[in-house]
Amino acid sequence: MNHLENIVIPGNGLLKLEPSGVHIMFVNITIGQDQSRKYPVTLVFEEQGSLEIDLLLKGAKKNQKVHKHKHGQSHKHDH
């Protein structure tokens, strides 16, 4: 995972935020977290204003990747 200070989206461009791709991670949150509740968030864009959205929380899942080893067998590892 690479930490990005900013992301440039060209005019009429598109950026899809998704797990395992480009995403926003909130850390050190001190409020109670309820997966059935929507959380309002304001995204602020330079020179374009802001966008208010509602986020839903998803439970943390371990990231499993399939590795293929020299012996030809594949199996999953938690990362």
Query: What pTM did the predictor assign?
Result: 0.51
The whole-number pLDDT of residue 64 equals 47
* Rounded Cα distance, 43 and 57, in Å: 17
Spell out the residues 6+ positions from residue 16 whose beta carbon is closer than 8 angstroms to its own.
Answer: 22
Q: Which two tokens stand for residue 76?
A: 């999953």
* Rounded Cα distance, 35 and 18, in Å: 18
Amino acid at 58: K
Predicted confidence (pLDDT) per residue in 1-59, tens digit: 788 888 888 888 898 888 888 888 878 877 777 878 888 999 888 888 999 999 887 76
* Rounded Cα distance, 2 and 14, in Å: 20
Q: CA angle, corner 43, sides to 29 and 79, nearest 5?
A: 50
Whether pLDDT at 60 is above 70: no
